[in-house]
Chains A and B, each alone.
Chain A
Amino acid sequence: MTDANPTPERSAEPTDDGEPLRVSTVERLCADIEANVSRVIVGHDDVIEHVITAVLGRGHVLLDDVPGVGKTMLARSIAKSVDCTFSRVQFTPDLLPSDVTGVNVFNQKTREFEFQSGPVFGNIVLGDEINRAPPKTQSSLLEAMEEGQVTTDGTTRELPTPFIVIATQNAVEPNRTYDLPFAEVDRFMKKLHLGYPDPDEEAELLGRTVGDHPIESLEAVTDRETLVAARETVSTVQVAEPVREYATRLVADTRENAHIGVSPRGTISLLRAAQARAVTNGRDYAIPDDIRAEAPVVMGHRIKTTGHDRDGTAVVEDALEHVPVE
């Protein structure tokens, strides 16, 4: 079922609009977004921050959690905060790829085929319960994530900028899901867990939802152009040799200590995330701490362990524990 809110006119806009912003501006921007999102999402500050850094670092996010903890709400509030178009795809076993990307429809009046764009044409796309759709449908989204464009019936169409996929994955009912192929999980910059809120937070959550849901009154704190410029800024953040070496050491360590370690794409993602993290801390250079903050969520899902007692995140934690920083 598609619950799309397509905005085709925006998708045609050029990508490079706006000069890079100052680091301090971006820092403030992030803080604003975070504060804004926090009005809807109770707790989970770290996850909010991770999502924001992923957005700034041109990455996509996979939220892996039980239903009803606010995954969709998180995605929506972020989209709303940055004044971007938001579309949502609810993945079901019978969902077809064209339901995601869009189809050519014959227009009776003009006697021509018109492209009816799918939900993927949005700035922030929420792919809900992505593991419920068959791999073919999944891959249609994943290709879009990787390429930044969609090809239907021989026509290639650019996706809007920014294009951010926030996919959720249901951890329950494993026998009725199609696990994402390992290669495709790799395309997500981060895999995050929201988890249940604390009792206190939950009480506050309930208090907030009495009456109008706060998402309804949420207002944008920035616009799309600023977001694009901020992403420019992030990409200019300096990653010095020692930091790069530290990242490589960490990655190499996971390759040694797991069945399949972090891919080079994972390393690139790690550096991008670290760049974004540096900016949110007001620095125009990345430090090892940025790497350390991002490593678990960036690397964890890219690691395949042999045993079941130990997941990828544990391998990363191990690496962080013993790989020398300098």
Chain B
Amino acid sequence: MSTDSSGHAGDRTLSIDADEPVGSDAVRLLALGCVLVLTGAYVSVLYDITRVVGGSQSLLALVGVMLLAATGLARTIRPRTAGVLALVGAGVGFAYYLTSAGVELGVVFTAADALLSDTVALATGLPILRMVQAGVWTLGFAPAPVFLSWYLALRGRYELGVVPGGIALGFLVLTGDAGTLVTLAGTLAAVGAVAFGELERRGGSIAQADLLAVLFAVIVALSLSVTIVPGDPSGPTHLVQGEAGSLEATIDSSPQRSGISGQVDLSPEVRFTVESDQRSYWRTGVYDRFTGDEWVRTGQSSRYNGRLASPPGNYETVQQTVTAETELGIMPVAPQPLSLGGDVTRETSVSRHGQPRPETPLEPGESYTVESAKIDADPAALRAAGTNYPEEVTDRHLQTPEDTSSEFRERTAEITAEADTPYEKAAAIESHLRSSKDYSLEVTQPAGNVAEGFLLEMDKGYCVYFATTMTQMLREEGVPARYVTGYTSGQQVDDDEYVVRGLDAHSWVEVYFPDHGWVRFDPTPGGSRDDVHTDRLEEARANGNEAADTEDSEDVPIDEDDGESPASDPNEPIGSPSDPNEDNGTDPGTDPNNGTEPDDPDNGTAPPDDPGDRIDGTTSDETSLSEHLVGIVRETGAIGLIALVGLAAGARRTGAATRLRRGVGVYWHGFRAEPDQDAERAFRRLERLLAREYRPRRGSESARAYLTALSAAETEAESATPLDPRVEQVLESYERAVYGDGVSRAAADEAIEIVDDLARSRLPILGRLR
């Protein structure tokens, strides 16, 4: 989020440190630079948003035009006119946003309260990325502050100029979009702009800027120790009682986003049970916007009103009853839910994608019923579905990050070269991913775009990687697709009963077909996934983890091979719509997690919190440590730089640097130069050494007189350490070098050696050891 601005920040702080005597011109440039950095800070936030949703070129162009306009108008119009202009600009931008969001302009006045509540929602931590028309919003938002702040800065009104920029940045901070570093850079730039502006006005010089650098360092230190920025997305609110680092915790970290991480764990604990006459995946979340390293759900949720949108085509209905076994912040349903039943539905919100979610977590034992639509679609029908997508589907489900590489695009085109219809494309991508990548939970998250990294570089991953990559590939091909999280059907313990555990957490892809609706595809290779998950369950059972089973499930064996692990089925090379509705236990690719085999349910000797809860604790720690290190380097580097500059400035103020240099210089001669210089330097070191021990040399005292005086004084006071007779030699070399015709290399080296020796013998600790 912060590449741009941190770069700016670096430039600025470095230039503060420059020591050349400069007039008010340079101060003015610095002040203007600070305003630019402030502008850069919030524009970079907006730019990051547009990079995800598109329109970054327009944004940059818009900002550039605004800067030019402000420069041009700076001398021609009065501030009042500029203020009006900016207000008008903001109004036009806002209106533009509303229009493209499909809101009639007239509504603005009638639905002022709704607008107000939107604004409040944004200001209380709703990330801009969740807005449906985030790109348009940024384009509407940017011009006014950019124009106004630059206009005012050019007119020398720095303290006024930082106000619009500060407001813009502050708003982005409140939405939680501005990261710490950007905020910090922006704040420092604002402080810098005002300070340099003041320096310019009062004719100060650049030399006084070191005080400013100290201030910056203080600000950095304070802001690092006291954090009041809300909406920090790094603190996941776990909707499931999974421990951090588990697959569930990653994909269900918050209601609006689904993260992608490196290595994850599987929890063997039972989450819920489902009574259903048909096997299905249990969906808990639907996401449409991909930022490159996480999925975001756009749009607001609304309270469940008794009915959910039904698919456009033919469908059968399926009834389920879901009972929570642990506290549950999610509401698993078989796609596509049509209606809900039970008490909890009174406090259920539904996303724009038709996915319900409880407003308060379900208690263990609470249950609800779901009626789902089982889309009636066979491959032939899907092949014939065409591409006549509704606009609301293409609007939101074709998004790819703007910086997606052409390599990814080309690779995708290669893979789908043979496919003509969207269905064939999906099938081709699905089978390609299944066959070319291995299943593994132990992976390191690639830097940058995860989908790109997985397709082009990685050779193994887990469902999140598979599903993300497939979604993105489909979108590149113009096929609307979305990323879905949830659980696989779980362990079947009875004809119509399924036990779903944490380790069943899964993510997959839904692809839209006109006249049919959203159809499930699962690119994750089923077989190896089963193995991993079964091993995990067996391990948990072996360790006596009681939460790993319900009363019903503990006697049921983990059926490792019931011929129903279709994901790994090579007989279906063209892939398959893994629609549960046509699944009678034979659908390939549907259910990687069929029966189980409880080989030893009651080996209850080991404590439940056994280290076996993690798949591989050691590797996990190591990986996370290295990831952590990589993750903090850039931010920490920038902050450290500011702190360092502050320290340096402070040191300069207090003269500490000079003292340090002298202090070190006593013990280390430094690199050899000309013999004469070396001899002189050797004597300077000796002088400092003696100054520490006896007294410093007076300005009017010649070198020789100084040493003579010292040895005379020391003869008088016998207690003092005798002056080493070799100092005479150093003195002579020095005199010869400075006043005579120079010293030889050997003489200079000898002088250095003597001083080195004397310095060593006077080292606080080492000297005593000798």
Contacts and interface: CB of A to CB of B under 8 A. Distances in A.
Interface-centre pick from B700, B704, B738, B741 (highest chain A CB count, 10 A): B700
A242 B738 contact: yes
Contacts of B109: none
A284 B735 CA distance: 11
A285 B700 contact: no
Given A320-B700, A324-B699, A325-B699, A292 B739 contact: no
Contacts of B108: none
B739 A287 contact: yes
B738 A325 contact: no
Interface residues of A, number: 19
Interface in A224-242: 238, 240, 242
B702 to A, nearest CB: 4
Interface residues of B, number: 13
B741 A288 contact: no
Interface string B729-744: 0000001101111000
Contact of A289 (B699, B700, B705): B705
A240 B702 contact: no
B724 interface: no
B622 interface: no
A137 B701 CA distance: 43
A170 B56 CA distance: 102
Contacts of B700: 320-325
A292 B739 CA distance: 15
A77 B705 CA distance: 31
Contacts of B735: 283, 285, 287
Interface string B147-183: 0000000000000000000000000000000000000
B741 A238 contact: yes
B699 A284 contact: no
Given A322-B700, A323-B700, A324-B699, A284 B740 contact: yes
B739 A285 contact: yes
Contact of A240 (B699, B704, B705, B738): B738
A23 B701 CA distance: 26
Interface in A281-325: 283-289, 292, 320-325
Interface-centre pick from B702, B735, B740, B741 (highest chain A CB count, 10 A): B702
A325 B705 CA distance: 11
A46 to B, nearest CB: 15
A25 B741 CA distance: 19
A99 B694 CA distance: 61
A285 B738 CA distance: 10
Contacts of A285: 735-736, 739-741
A287 B741 contact: no
A115 B679 CA distance: 60
Nearest to A249: B700
A285 B739 CA distance: 6
A243 interface: yes
A292 B702 contact: yes
Interface in B691-739: 699-705, 735-736, 738-739
B702 A242 contact: no
A240 B676 CA distance: 14
A116 to B, nearest CB: 49
A305 B618 CA distance: 90
Interface string A215-257: 0000000000000000000000010101100000000000000
Nearest to A285: B740
Contacts of B702: 287-289, 292, 325
Interface-centre pick from B703, B735, B736, B739 (highest chain A CB count, 10 A): B739
A280 B371 CA distance: 117
A209 to B, nearest CB: 35
A326 B684 CA distance: 12
A325 B701 contact: yes
Contacts of A284: 740-741
Contacts of B704: 287-289
B675 to A, nearest CB: 16
B697 to A, nearest CB: 9
B701 A240 contact: no
Contact of B739 (A243, A320, A321): A243
Contacts of A321: 700
B738 A238 contact: no
Contacts of B738: 240, 242
Contacts of B701: 325
A321 B705 CA distance: 12
Nearest to B704: A289
B736 to A, nearest CB: 7
Contacts of A238: 739-741
A326 B736 CA distance: 15
A292 B701 CA distance: 10
Interface in B740-765: 740-741
Contacts of A283: 735, 740
Contacts of A322: 699-700
A294 B43 CA distance: 74
B718 to A, nearest CB: 26
A285 B740 CA distance: 5
Contacts of B740: 238, 240, 283-285
Contacts of B739: 238, 240, 242-243, 285-288
Contact of B705 (A242, A243, A286, A292): A292
Contacts of B699: 322, 324-326
B741 to A, nearest CB: 6
Interface-centre pick from A243, A288, A322, A324 (highest chain B CB count, 10 A): A288
A86 B705 CA distance: 37
A20 to B, nearest CB: 16
Interface-centre pick from A284, A320, A325 (highest chain B CB count, 10 A): A325
Contacts of A292: 702, 705
Interface-centre pick from A285, A287, A323 (highest chain B CB count, 10 A): A287
A286 B738 CA distance: 10
B733 to A, nearest CB: 12
A152 B735 CA distance: 49
A286 B741 CA distance: 11
Contacts of B705: 289, 292
A238 B736 CA distance: 11
Nearest to A325: B702
Nearest to B705: A289
Contacts of A324: 699-700
A271 to B, nearest CB: 13
Contacts of A287: 702-704, 735, 739
Contacts of A243: 739
Nearest to A250: B700
A284 B701 CA distance: 22
Nearest to A323: B700
A238 B740 CA distance: 7
Nearest to B701: A325
Interface string A121-157: 0000000000000000000000000000000000000
Nearest to A246: B702
Nearest to B738: A242
A243 B699 CA distance: 14
Interface string B361-375: 000000000000000
A322 B699 CA distance: 7
B747 to A, nearest CB: 14
A326 B698 CA distance: 10
A253 to B, nearest CB: 10
Nearest to A241: B739
A274 to B, nearest CB: 11
A112 B735 CA distance: 61
Instruction: Give the 9 A-B CB pairs with smallest separation, nearest first.
Output: A285-B740, A324-B699, A288-B702, A240-B739, A289-B704, A325-B702, A289-B702, A285-B739, A287-B739
Given A287-B703, A324-B700, 6 more contacts: A285-B741, A287-B702, A288-B704, A289-B704, A322-B700, A325-B703
18 contacts: A238-B741, A242-B738, A242-B739, A283-B735, A284-B740, A284-B741, A285-B740, A286-B739, A287-B703, A288-B702, A288-B703, A288-B704, A288-B739, A289-B705, A321-B700, A322-B700, A324-B700, A325-B703
